[in-house]
Every structure is written in structure tokens, then in C-alpha cells.
Structure 1
Amino acid sequence: MADLFFENNVEAIEAWNTILFDKFVRFRDALTVGLGLHGDATLERHPPPIGARVLDLGCGFGDTTQQLARMVGPTGLVVGVDAAPRFIESGRQEAEAAGLAHARFLVADVQSDDLGGPYDQAFGRFGTMFFASPVMAMRNVRKAMRPGGLLSMVVWRAKQENAWVYDVEQKVLELIPHVEKGDQVTCGPGPFSMASPDLVSAQLLAAGWERITFERFDAEIRVGATLDEAIDIAMAIGP
């Protein structure tokens, strides 16, 4: 199966390390709280055991890397990987301040770079939808796993099923029916690129993964503590 979207991640990496990093820093608390329930639910279903070696895909600020490090304990190892150096540096500093020596961080393009390993488990909380070549990325992750290793990913379903984005977008389109696209760098395929179970299954099978299952999880998304903050986030990050 051919990979979709773009040939490489260069533009997306630039976006995450510049304009998107600055926006995520500004709204970090709101976004971390808003997305945390989905990651927590996944880790409750598939918790890494004490002493496990875990790869945290698209770790961002590293809050999930720290969470995983506490779960596996000091005899385990968690490696947070992200292609944006500014996110990784932030994660590294915070994990060090928290005394989590077994939480380590790696600047790498998951599609093509050596991810180390072997790992017992790989986890991604909304960090796997932006690959230019998802099959290549998932194949590279599998290469870093021990035989029988587990991959668990949290991804968005279709935009229409996410009112916190879709409803806002529809209101904007009522006022501005046509929006000119600028020349700013973008995050790649976008957050809803893995919304189709059939497509994701085909990608994972092509990458060599087996026994693929999907679990639906619905939870309220907190987009800002106040209406003004919610509007600011929508204006800055989407739709």
C-alpha cells in the first residue's frame, strides 16, 4: 500500500518547532488537561508493567513520558521521541527536575531515524497522525520493538464527531465562507488523518503489525477554562 499525503516530514517538523511550539506553550495547561483523559484511559487499558521499556511517540512536552516513567519505575526505561527539538528540550529539563533519570528524550524523525530499543511497548497520545508517510513510520516503530511488543495509539475520530472542532468550524464558515491559505508551514496531514479504522488497519498491516483492534472512547474536551480562553485557543490552533 502506498503511503499517503507527503514525501517527508520536513515542513511539519519546522511547523512543530516554530509556530506550533509557541502556541502550545501559550495554551499548554488547557491542552494538557483537555487531552489527558484520553491518554489516561488508554494507559488504564494497556498499562506497561514495572521494569518495561517504553517508547513514547510524539511526546511533545513529555508529560506522558513522565507518566509512563512513574508507571514502569526506576528499573524500567521510557524514551520520549519527538521531531521538534524545542519540545524535547522542555521535556528533558522537566523530567530531570522531577528526578526521573529513567525518562530519556530523543530528537528524531520517527519515519526514518534509529529509535533505539528493543522496546516492550510503544505509546502515542495524539502524536502519530502527522506523519507524511505513516506506513514508513509504523514500520520503523515496529523495527524498534521486541517480538510481541504492544503499540497503543490515541487518535481522533472524524472531525464531524469532534464537536469542539467541527461546530466551531461551521460557525466560522457562516461568517467567512472562503479562507485563503497562506504560505505558513503546516503540521502535515493533520489531526484527523487517522480517523478511518479501515485506513489505519491497512497502514499498520502494511507496516507489519498484527492483531489490530480499535476501542472507542468518548470524553468531554475542556477547551479553555473560560469562554475567552476557549476562543483564543480556537483562533490560534484551529479549526
Structure 2
Amino acid sequence: MELKASPAALDPARLPGPVWVVAPHPDDEALGCGALLAALSNLGTEVWALLLTDGGFSHPDSREYPRERLAATRLDEWRTGLATLGVPPERTRALGFPDGALAGVPAPAVTQAVQRAFTASPPALVLLPWRRDPHPDHRAAWAPVCAATDAAVLGYSVWLTERGAEPDWPAAAEATALTFATGPYAACKAAAIAAHATQLGAITDDPGGFTLAPEMVARAVAGPELYFRPADPRPA
């Protein structure tokens, strides 16, 4: 599906900080809003990152990368990619909920953990995958994260343009669509995505494991990035 109207351009200079980007999995932030994060960092805006799950379920049949090793590797990849975008390791937090099973974690537990993370620097803006971005963990993140803060929220797209059905997209009254051209930040975004080697074919002993398609990566780098400003972020 394509947007029926041309979205307005998002101006990073007008976004309040501190900004927290919430990623259900390592690499979501690089794919969905890597260029915007680089632009915010370039402007001197304080940017933090919060990882919800351990990322350890992408290659369940790998013997070389059992879950504990994969989760630790993906955490390192996440921080390396964020550093490329100007977010240093000391401004990252990881909660370690189970990858692929966030919906099974009681929402109050997620909300409380997010609230504790946010105390490091209370957000003025939260970037979060759109409430119906087509991945169960992305959808499960919206309500408990929004419940953790009164800050403004912008939903970003990771899989919406790749896999989204028409009901997944926001209705006109539900949210305002915005875009951000990757432009001068495309190389930075590409480098941040490239940091996630485990998701780009480096794990070879699990043929059924997840691998980002080169075409999807190319589209993510070329942009534009897509965001939604919800009319009311609080309802699930």
C-alpha cells in the first residue's frame, strides 16, 4: 500500500530532546529511523536508545550461535550500530525480554521496566515502531511503552511498507504521516545496518534463520523514512 496523500517532511531541528528510540529488536532503529537519529545527533540533540528484547530468536537452530551467544552478539551489534549514528553506549539501555514472545510478558512489567530506563534522562520524544507495524513484538511494544511516559510519540515504520496490509496503515484521523529523506545520512544509516552482521548472512549453520533481504536493506537506506504522529498514542 502507498500513502494516498504526500506526507509532510519531518524537520529534526524542531524535535524536542531528549529523544529516546525504542527498538523491540536490535536493528529495528537502524532500519526504521537510522537517518533521523544521525541527523539528531548531528544537531546536538540528546539521543538515547532502549532495546526491549534479547534478539536471541533469529537463528533458533544454529549450533554455533546458541541463544545466549546470539543475544550477546546482537547486543554488541546494536551498540556498534548506534555509535555509528552518534548514540554512545552509555546512552543505551537493554531490558532483555524474550525475542519473539514480547506479547507474553505482562504489559505492566514492560511498562515498569521502560519507566525505570527512562529515569536516566526523561524523554521529551519517544520513537517507537508504529502500533501495527507487522511484527508481533512491534505490536506488543506500543501500548506498554506509551503507558510508561507522557512524552510525545512518533511511530516509525520497519516492516509496514514491506509487509503491511491495508488495515495496518493508520486511518487519516488516527495519525499524521511524515517522512524524512535519508539524504546526507544514507551512508551513516547503511553503516549502522551493516553492523548487524548476524542478520545479514554471517550465521551460516541455520539455513532457516532470519536474514535481511538485500532489497529491503537497499530500500531502507534509500528512504525516505516513514513516521506517524498519532492523534492519541495511548489507546492500544
Q: Which has the larger radius of gyration?
A: 1
Which category describes the TM-score, using the shorter chain as reference length? 0.3 to 0.5
TM-score, normalised to structure 2, is 0.41
TM-score, normalised to structure 1, is 0.40
